[in-house]
Amino acid sequence: RVLMLRNCEAIYNANPDFVAYGRSGFKGYAVFGFSKKNIYVLESVFPNNATYVLGEDWETISKLSKAEILSQNLHKSRIVHSKNWETEFKNMLEGI
């Protein structure tokens, strides 16, 4: 729970345009939209998951299963929940 709050706070502090909540394969995920950068960050409210970064077709892609997204390489980035998460998230934002 602490990691989820830390992750959501870090994403929110990056000033997303909007926040929404996922369904289907991403039930239990919050979606943080950064429209100007064309990135959409999906963060799980459950432990032992990952943060997914999607592009412009995020609404369609987020309806797929995580396995489909990974196997078809439809994500821009995937950040596994770990002690290095915050550094990896910041690096991802700077790289876009």
Name the least confident of 10-19, 23-32, 65-74, 76-85: 23-32
Confidence band of 6 (pLDDT split at 50, 70, 90): confident
Dump pLDDT digits (tens) for 38-95.
999 999 877 778 999 999 899 899 888 889 999 999 999 999 988 899 999 999 988 8
Residues facing residue 50 across a β-bridge: 80
Residue-by-residue DSSP string for 46-66: SSS-EEEEE-TTHHHHTTS-H
Residues 17 and 36 sit within 8 Å (Cβ to Cβ)? yes
Kindly indicate the confidence band of residue 22, based on its pLDDT and cuts at 50, 70 and 90.
Answer: low
